[in-house]
């Protein structure tokens, strides 16, 4: 269970003579157990916001808290520990280790967590099967399609049993059946184990499944809609 608080977050990038404000004073709280989507056009700040919450980047102004911890005040090691122990990431670019198999990629963060080998293997096998990759555990990324690599990335993020999952376009490159299975699996983790989910997405099916939809436009929150549970 985990809570995120973003307070007046600004992220400016120096690109040419005029700085670019990727985020421009974002305020919101993500309560423990929420299943929320970030939507908005490309360049609206969705990925930047996920990176600030996950400690992959730091705010130019404002603060970001995860369970009361000021993420921006942590050093690089502290932010790395936070990601390892509390946060599961699903990247649009997969971020798989090329020399490792699907099973080894799925086990990698668990190994850093100190999860025993037998438990790592059990969870990896279970998660890879859940995302439709049973029988492909020993293939390396170069032997998998883009959609299959995305599924490995999802399995790796969820296998660690994180308190929060941050997902950047998690259903990109997935076929309709696998996409539906993935959304159902994440909803189940949310409902049964209280895992907090925050997605950036353009996918209407992910948006439809979300119980809260936060719309970003030009680095600001343009709308924040909460929905009832089904």
User: Domains in the chain and their CATH numbers?
Assistant: 31-58+76-226 (3.40.50.300)
Task: Compute the distance between CA of residue 221 and CA of residue 24 in angstroms, rounded to an integer.
Answer: 9
Q: What ranges make up the beta strands (E) of 67-155?
A: 69-70, 87-90
Specify the pLDDT at position 2.
63
**What does the H/E/C string look like for 206-229?**
HHHHCCEEEEEECCEEEEEEECCC
The model's pLDDT over 24-71, given as tens digits with 9 standing for 90+, comes to: 999 999 999 999 999 998 889 999 999 999 999 999 999 999 988 999
Cβ(92)–Cβ(172) below 8 Å: yes
Q: In terms of Cα–Cα distance, which of 161, 108, 159 is closest to 133?
A: 159
CB atoms within 10 A of CB 38: 26
* Residue 90 pLDDT grade (very low, low, confident, very high; cuts 50, 70, 90): confident
Global pTM value: 0.85
* Residue 163 pLDDT grade (very low, low, confident, very high; cuts 50, 70, 90): confident
Task: Compute the distance between CA of residue 184 and CA of residue 102 in angstroms, rounded to an integer.
Answer: 22
């Amino acid at each position: 269970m985990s809570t995120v608080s973003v307070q007046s977050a600004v992220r400016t990038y120096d690109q040419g003579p005029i700085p670019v404000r990727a985020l421009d004073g974002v305020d919101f709280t993500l309560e423990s157990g929420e299943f929320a989507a970030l939507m908005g056009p490309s360049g609206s700040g969705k990925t930047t916001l996920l990176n600030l919450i996950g400690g992959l980047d730091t705010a130019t102004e404002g603060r970001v808290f995860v369970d009361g911890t000021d993420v921006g005040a942590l050093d690089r090691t502290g932010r790395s520990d936070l990601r390892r122990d509390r946060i599961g990431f699903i990247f649009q670019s997969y971020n798989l280790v090329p020399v490792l198999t699907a099973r080894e990629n799925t086990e990698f963060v668990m190994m850093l967590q100190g999860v025993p080998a037998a438990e790592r293997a059990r969870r990896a096998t279970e998660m890879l099967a859940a995302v439709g990759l049973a029988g492909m555990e020993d293939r390396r990324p170069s032997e998998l399609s883009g959609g299959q690599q995305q599924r490995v990335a999802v399995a790796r993020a969820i296998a660690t049993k994180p308190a929060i999952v941050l997902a950047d376009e998690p259903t990109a490159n997935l076929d309709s059946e696998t996409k539906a299975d993935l959304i159902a699996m994440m909803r189940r983790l949310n409902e049964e184990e209280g895992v907090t989910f925050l997605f950036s997405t353009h996918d209407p099916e992910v948006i439809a499944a979300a119980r809260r939809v936060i719309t970003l436009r030009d680095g600001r929150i343009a709308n924040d809609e909460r929905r009832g549970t089904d």
